[in-house]
Structure 1
Amino acid sequence: MAYYIGIDVGGSNIACAVVNEECEIISRSKAKTHGKSGISDYSEVLDVIKRTVISACESVGIAPENASSIGIGCPGICNSELGIVEYTNNLGFRNVPLKTDIEKEFNIPVYLDNDANAAAFGEFIAGAAIGSRNAVVITLGTGVGSGIIIDGKIYRGTYFAAGEIGHTVIVADGLPCSCGRKGCFEAYSSATGLVNMTKKAAAEHPESALNRLIKEDGRVSARTAYNAAKLGDEVGKAVTEQYVKYLSVGVANVINTFQPDVLCIGGGVCNEGSLLLNPLREAVYREIYSRDSKKTTRLAICTLGNDAGIIGAAMLYKAQ
């Protein structure tokens, strides 16, 4: 039995897992990304990665050097050919040789890619996009993460920064985005965008069930508007409809550009299931250029959840 090590490097935590040939996680380890300094010092992050690898392997009696390979998903621009993290905003890395440094430590092949690409590859090889040839995976979280699979391979672009679907503009001169531009898909369709939409509607309609729910819960999540809509609240319903409208524009643009076999959507709001997916399908299929029902991209909810990135990272050897 061959084993593969997957590492998901995040701004807050580094997660590691040992994965078998069936893409099943057999052990896990996790640690805080930041060391005692509280900042993203590269040497400290390297040390955390090494410790999580050793811990995950020890729990199942496997020596790291006996694994077949290590795959790493890291935020930012990752040169997968050279194994260099060229730039990552939340960790502050610039041109660090992550692949080489981990290979030196464990003496087995190491593969590096962007974390959204790794998550997309996870869904492609073991999740909602399994069996497809061309797929796009969009994750609706704090921002909008995305990965593109073409002919079974991760599409990275000429300079390894392709797939930033969240920063395509869907509203000219629209809402400000964290990237500094206006009207980005991310500003409207991320969980953050939905939360902002919900807060605005509640403030404008203090008598609504939506506003009452927020006061009772003491917080606003990406599911608050959906919870209000389930109670029959017209304000909550209007928020969800507006959200789907924006989401459908971005999704339709992607389908019109790539026409994948399947487009998978993930993130906490996707726990709404058919309440999100059914109206989204209707809206998207009205907007796409090819309306032949037999030649239409399938829309699906991601199935691997938070494990997509770590499974995809472990399987990166298949993406070369």
Structure 2
Amino acid sequence: MSRQRAIGLDVGGTKIAGGVVDADGTVLTELVEPTPEDSDAEAVLAVLLDIVERLRAKHDDVAAIGVGAAGIVEWPQGRMLWAPNNAYRDWPVREQLEAATGLPAVIDNDANVAALAEARLGPRPYRHLVLITVGTGIGGGLVQDGRIYRGPTGRGAELGHIVLNPDGPVCGCGNHGCFEAYASGTALTRMGREAAADDPDGLIARLGAERGEVTGQTVTAAAGQGDPTALDLFGRLGRWLGVGIASLANIFELEVVVVGGGLVSTGDLLLAPARRAAREFAYAREARATAPIVAATFGGDAGMVGAALLALDEGRTSVG
């Protein structure tokens, strides 16, 4: 009997990744395309179908399609109801993918599927885990007793939108002071631009002028050169990340907190201040263990791998 494989698709605010994945999490082929600038449903669907077609041309034995996408997904219907950094609303993506490809499909929040990948295929199996994905925004996935927690309709575990400060900066979701507004790549870009405006002769401003604008990548590059202002910004970003993690750990008894997303590639620039803050704000440290904070095993592939695993889990009945 051949090994089961599925296509995993990870839809983010800036890029869409797709790959053919084995049941053990091995990525056999991977493709990446930019998210369309208008990011509406029709444009995003066209990219998804193009990726699926190209992957199936190389692997004709895929059993199902899984999609992880930022935003609120109606479970198990597979409708993308809303996304903070994309234009689609009330999008029946599961229905459209199945009609266009003839394969069973499953759709879930991107951080949910990434959490599934980390819990099942990380350094060891975990049954109680929180995943925080730090990228353009902040996603969150919660695994409790070995299963993704979604709430009754899939709208649960929007961890990136717990409110840390109601008087804080505007978040992409429209509220003020969300976790995402303080500890994401978007937050790093905002802080970097503020720093460049305050110090036009500083390294962040100069690198931004060379690149056309100041972004989170500009701040990261400046930090890599030892710039004190950039290092301070990462300290602030990481501290807010730790504050949010402490709040979650105070609610749930966790075996581990996994941090993924693009910014985790900066390593201890982000994670060291996050660990300090998580310990500082942990409740009853004398009576309960502080869950370790670790970098994601799968890096940028977590959403793609988790989406494929979920597709294999949920699609077996349809596949036969």
TM-score with structure 1 setting the length: 0.82
In 2, are the aligned partners of 1:29 and 1:53 still within 8 Å (CA)? no
Residue of 66, 73, 87 corresponding to 1:71: 66
In 1, are the aligned partners of 2:242 and 2:273 still within 8 Å (CA)? no
CA–CA distance in 2 between the matches of 1:116 and 1:106? 25
2:210 aligned with 1:196: no
How far the C-alpha of 1:315 sits from its partner, in A, is 0.4
Counterpart in the other structure of 1:18? 20
AA partner of residue 299 (structure 1)? I
Counterpart in the other structure of 1:7? 9
Change in CA separation of 1:94 and 1:212 when aligned onto 2, cut-off 3 Å: closer
CA–CA distance in 1 between the matches of 2:192 and 2:75? 39
Counterpart in the other structure of 1:270? 264
How far the C-alpha of 1:111 sits from its partner, in A, is 1.8
* Higher mean displacement: 208-217 or 76-85: 208-217
Counterpart in the other structure of 1:54? 53
Counterpart in the other structure of 2:178? 184
Counterpart in the other structure of 1:175? 169
Counterpart in the other structure of 1:93? 89
1:187-239 alpha-carbon deviations (Å, 9 max, x no partner): 11111112222222333244545445545555434354455456554433432
The correspondence of residues 40-189 of structure 1 with structure 2, limited to 5 A, is 40=40, 42=42, 46=45, 48-60=47-59, 62=60, 66-88=61-83, 90-94=86-90, 96=92, 98-127=93-122, 130-189=124-183
CA–CA distance in 1 between the matches of 2:266 and 2:116? 24
In 2, are the aligned partners of 1:79 and 1:160 still within 8 Å (CA)? yes
* Higher mean displacement: 84-93 or 69-78: 84-93
1:269-314 alpha-carbon deviations (Å, 9 max, x no partner): 3222123322321221111014259822110112322211111110
Unaligned runs of 5+ in 1: none
SS at match of 1:295: coil
Change in CA separation of 1:53 and 1:208 when aligned onto 2, cut-off 3 Å: closer
- Alignment RMSD: 3.1
SS at match of 2:66: strand
* Higher mean displacement: 212-221 or 115-124: 212-221
In 1, are the aligned partners of 2:240 and 2:274 still within 8 Å (CA)? no
Counterpart in the other structure of 1:287? 281
Counterpart in the other structure of 2:317? none
Change in CA separation of 1:226 and 1:29 when aligned onto 2, cut-off 3 Å: closer
In 1, are the aligned partners of 2:78 and 2:95 still within 8 Å (CA)? yes
CA–CA distance in 1 between the matches of 2:193 and 2:36? 32
How far the C-alpha of 1:13 sits from its partner, in A, is 5.3
CA–CA distance in 2 between the matches of 1:231 and 1:13? 27
SS at match of 2:20: strand
Change in CA separation of 1:290 and 1:133 when aligned onto 2, cut-off 3 Å: farther
In 2, are the aligned partners of 1:153 and 1:319 still within 8 Å (CA)? no
Change in CA separation of 1:196 and 1:22 when aligned onto 2, cut-off 3 Å: same
Change in CA separation of 1:54 and 1:175 when aligned onto 2, cut-off 3 Å: closer
SS at match of 1:93: coil
SS at match of 1:194: helix
How far the C-alpha of 1:319 sits from its partner, in A, is 5.9
CA–CA distance in 1 between the matches of 2:58 and 2:30? 8
Unaligned runs of 5+ in 2: 315-320
SS at match of 1:249: helix
Counterpart in the other structure of 2:318? none
CA–CA distance in 1 between the matches of 2:11 and 2:211? 32
SS at match of 2:191: helix
CA–CA distance in 2 between the matches of 1:234 and 1:5? 43
Q: Percent identity?
A: 35
How far the C-alpha of 1:107 sits from its partner, in A, is 4.5
In 1, are the aligned partners of 2:76 and 2:153 still within 8 Å (CA)? no
In 2, are the aligned partners of 1:255 and 1:297 still within 8 Å (CA)? yes
Task: Give the count of matched residue pairs.
Answer: 311
In 1, are the aligned partners of 2:239 and 2:273 still within 8 Å (CA)? no
